[in-house]
Structure 1
Amino acid sequence: MNLRQQPLVLAGVAAAGMVLLGVIGWISRGLADAEAGSSGQASLLELLEEVRQPPMAPEPGRRQAPGPPPATRWTSPMQSPRCVATADGAEGQRLRALVDQLHSAPLRVRIHPTNYGTRFSRDAFGNPLDPTPRVVVLHETVYGIGSAINTFLTPHPRDEDQVSYHAVIGLDGKTVLLLEPEQRAFGAGNSAFRGQWVVTNPEVGGSVNNFALHVSLETPLDGEDDGPSHSGYTPEQYDALAALLADWMERYPIPPDHITTHRAVDLGGERSDPRSFDWRALQTRLESLGAMC
């Protein structure tokens, strides 16, 4: 090395020394702040702790989850209920027998595990959640009940293809139970109910699935299209639906005005189900069962 280069080398060494002294001073101040418990700017130890936190599983409550976008408030179409504490008369006893049948002789189908999941106890930001079911979302199958069940039996590795309900009800009134209420059905995508949703994947927004129960009615033949309406559901379907809802409402804190529709919770404005639904037919049956109190 010639003498002409030495001043440059010395200058570089001096500059590196100054940087090193600055880093040491910053570390010392950070440690002092941590020991003194000072507030204000984050200390070095706090910053290091933040770096160590997994991005999708931080300390509980450390980050605020995004709220749902403004949406129309749900108002139940069911009118002021006639509150009867127990099953009312012959009609109530007939419907109560359907509730008992759900317990004694349930019709179950085991669907593919890719189409459902477990309810989350924390959201994607580490915040604690109450996964207890507290809302019911009504759907329709659009095509036959057999087609719907085959879809649920089929493996769907891609998130966008996964779909399921907790139960489906055929035109003949048969209720097919697909999932236990404690499991999370993939019944609604980007959705919210009265300002509530749960974000389990920040990339796709929030959903009601973590606290919702989903039931779908088989669509009549004249509704196997995207028309705005069809001939409606059978009396047997309303009987079975009322029995299933009464059972869920006895087991979980689900008031009558928390029975809603896929159309009402969908934030994309793409869903219209269940079309041609008769709310009065459901209400009179729930009243007979004593479930409207």
Structure 2
Amino acid sequence: MNLRQRPYMVAGVAASGVLLLAGIGWLAATLGGASAGDPSQATLMELLEEVRSPPMAPRAGRRNAPAPPAPSDWTSPLAGGTCAGSGSADSPRLRAQLERLRTAPLRLRIDPSNYGTRFNRDAFGNPLDPTPRVVILHETVFGIGSAINTFLTPHPRDEDQVSYHAVIGLDGKTVLLLDPSSRAFGAGNSAFRGQWVVTNPDFNGSVNNFALHVSLETPLDGEDTGPSHSGYTPAQYDALAVLLADWMERFPISPDHITTHQAVDLGGERMDPRSFDWQALKTRLSALQAFCDRPATTTALN
């Protein structure tokens, strides 16, 4: 067959060649970042790299994270604490208890579905500092045994997962549930002084990535939804102060960064810890010299 006898075929071949050359030119420009005049335009290689990246580790700075809510007007009840030092009558007893916590802690391993790792980047690729810098106080509502059983039980559904780093019984016994390097699921929709971390782009942020959580066992008369109860025992305040003093020496946590679940909850549904005696805690922290100026000593997270 003579091509001169098929003029339409010749024109088709020529057009295909032009399109092929144009396509090659576009591909080369895209792969090489031809959109230099528009830095916001992603190249094909960048798009392919983003597709290959895991959902929780996108390229840094690719998208803006949603802004947290405006800071609340919460004021720390621990403001104005004094450095009593070793002159306090409670100091030797509490110091001895602190030493026992460090040398012979009571630990319990909870189910892995109820906690996670601390993120170094948020859901939008922005770098994060996962070092604990705030403590959230909770209460169990029911007995400590019920709470611990919940943490030991596997919970495949996100909405059922919950945990704290420690719980303190009515008798003052402290049970350590998670190493501070782990992220406890203690507060869902939450923020502290205009700070949160978004770890799932489909939900609001929370304080969990930079918080430590401790829960006090609720007395029997508080196993309801009432606004108050008879309060916590002196042994619990002793143990709480000791645990907080240990955390404050290990991490950059100042007294005014010790707050409550109620204060950080953005849904307005939490009341815990109800009937909390801040003065009882302040007195004990003072005896432990937690309000004294000291060099910042942080423990690296693995």
Q: What TM-score results when the alignment is normalised by the length of structure 2?
A: 0.85
| AA partner of residue 240 (structure 1) | A
Could you say if the C-alpha distance between residues 171 and 19 of structure 1 is closer, same or farther in structure 2, counting changes exceeding 3 Å?
same
SS at match of 2:213: strand
- Alignment partner, residue 273 of structure 2: 274
Contact persistence 1:88–1:290 (CA under 8 A)? no
- Alpha-carbon separation, structure 2, partners of 1:27 and 1:107: 62
| AA partner of residue 103 (structure 2) | S
- Alpha-carbon separation, structure 2, partners of 1:24 and 1:167: 61
Contact persistence 2:79–2:256 (CA under 8 A)? no
Shift, 1:221, TM fit: 0.7
Deviation string for 1:200-256 (max 9, x for gaps)? Answer: 111222111111000000001111000011111111110110000000000000000
- Alignment partner, residue 299 of structure 2: none
- Alignment partner, residue 103 of structure 1: 102
- Alignment partner, residue 78 of structure 1: 78
- Alpha-carbon separation, structure 1, partners of 2:225 and 2:289: 36
Contact persistence 2:165–2:179 (CA under 8 A)? yes
Contact persistence 1:138–1:274 (CA under 8 A)? yes
- Alpha-carbon separation, structure 1, partners of 2:22 and 2:112: 56
Shift, 1:50, TM fit: 2.3
Shift, 1:169, TM fit: 0.6
Q: What TM-score results when the alignment is normalised by the length of structure 1?
A: 0.87
2:221 matched to 1:237? Answer: no
Between the two proteins, the alignment pairs up a number of residues equal to 284
Could you say if the C-alpha distance between residues 32 and 146 of structure 1 is closer, same or farther in structure 2, counting changes exceeding 3 Å?
closer
- Alpha-carbon separation, structure 1, partners of 2:10 and 2:200: 54
- Alignment partner, residue 225 of structure 2: 226
- Alpha-carbon separation, structure 1, partners of 2:69 and 2:176: 33
Deviation string for 1:31-51 (max 9, x for gaps)? Answer: 6863xx83326567x244124
- Alignment partner, residue 46 of structure 2: 49
Deviation string for 1:161-191 (max 9, x for gaps)? Answer: 0001011011111111111111111111111
Shift, 1:15, TM fit: 8.7
Shift, 1:266, TM fit: 0.9
Shift, 1:63, TM fit: 2.2
- Alignment partner, residue 3 of structure 1: none
- Alpha-carbon separation, structure 2, partners of 1:41 and 1:61: 13
Contact persistence 1:74–1:193 (CA under 8 A)? no
- Alignment partner, residue 247 of structure 2: 248
Structure 1 residues 270-279 or 13-22, which shifts more? 13-22
Could you say if the C-alpha distance between residues 266 and 12 of structure 1 is closer, same or farther in structure 2, counting changes exceeding 3 Å?
farther
| AA partner of residue 94 (structure 2) | L
- Alpha-carbon separation, structure 2, partners of 1:281 and 1:19: 80
SS at match of 2:198: strand
| AA partner of residue 83 (structure 2) | C
Could you say if the C-alpha distance between residues 173 and 126 of structure 1 is closer, same or farther in structure 2, counting changes exceeding 3 Å?
same
- Alpha-carbon separation, structure 1, partners of 2:41 and 2:77: 55
- Alignment partner, residue 295 of structure 2: none
| AA partner of residue 112 (structure 1) | D
Structure 1 residues 71-80 or 129-138, which shifts more? 71-80
- Alignment partner, residue 191 of structure 1: 190
Residue segments in structure 2 that go unaligned for 5+ positions in a row: 1-5, 293-302
Q: For 1:31-180, what aligned pairs fall within 5 Å after superposition? A: 34=34, 38-40=36-38, 46-53=43-50, 54=53, 56=55, 57-84=57-84, 86-180=85-179
Residue segments in structure 1 that go unaligned for 5+ positions in a row: 1-5
Percentage of identical aligned residues: 71
Contact persistence 1:170–1:237 (CA under 8 A)? yes
Could you say if the C-alpha distance between residues 286 and 12 of structure 1 is closer, same or farther in structure 2, counting changes exceeding 3 Å?
same
Cα-Cα RMSD: 2.6
